[in-house]
Amino acid sequence: MTGGPAIIRAGPAHAATIAAIHAGSFPDKQAWGTNAISLLLGLPSSFAFLHPDGGMVIGRAAAGEAEVLSLAVAPEVRCRGIGGALLTAAMEEAARRRASAIFLEVSATNSRALDLYARAGFVAVGRRSRYYANGSDALVMRASLILPSATAIR
């Protein structure tokens, strides 16, 4: 996405935009509402980023670990590097917050997401059978993070 639109840090004021992207990417029963997203983004451990073309990632970091809670790209702009750019932003933010590892869950049937996560260094570390409403399993994935050097932290 070099030279493309800039990813922006998102907060509670962006909850409606994030909810719209989320709703367009996940089944109704899995979509998160604006109020829930706003509350989540108000927590000190949470962080989020938006891509202006239609993508979002929400994560949290605490106790030396981080988790991608949700990553979604609007269907009409998929396969353009937006998901990778958002995942990179989340991983960098998690490392900045001193997390040494980052986790996520993904449907075992979501091959595009699995490819993206593998390219980013994630490996499967667990499986939750029939986790999603459609009956698909969730894979729990983990990636190690490179922490910023002590001299870089100010």
Task: From 62, 118, 49, 57, select the one nearest 94 (Cα to Cα).
Answer: 62
Place of tokens 């899995």: 30
Q: Which pLDDT value is given to residue 32?
A: 86
Q: Which pLDDT value is given to residue 152?
A: 47
Instruction: Record the tokens describing residue 7, joined without a space.
Output: 């990813």
Length of the chain: 154
Task: From 77, 58, 45, 78, select the one nearest 18 (Cα to Cα).
Answer: 58
CATH domain 8-152 topology: Aminopeptidase (3.40.630)
What is the block-wise mean pLDDT of the chain (154 residues), using blocks of 10 residues? 75 95 80 91 97 96 97 92 96 96 97 96 97 92 82 44
Q: Which pLDDT value is given to residue 31?
A: 76
Report d(CA 31, CA 3) in Å as an integer. 31
5 in Cβ contact with 49 (< 8 Å): no
Instruction: Record the tokens describing residue 70, joined without a space.
Output: 């949700």
Tell me the CB-side half-sphere exposure of residue 67, using CA atoms within 13 A.
11
49 in Cβ contact with 151 (< 8 Å): no
Q: Which pLDDT value is given to residue 24?
A: 85
What's the whole-model pTM score? 0.89
Q: Which pLDDT value is given to residue 86?
A: 97
43 in Cβ contact with 13 (< 8 Å): no
Q: Which pLDDT value is given to residue 2?
A: 46
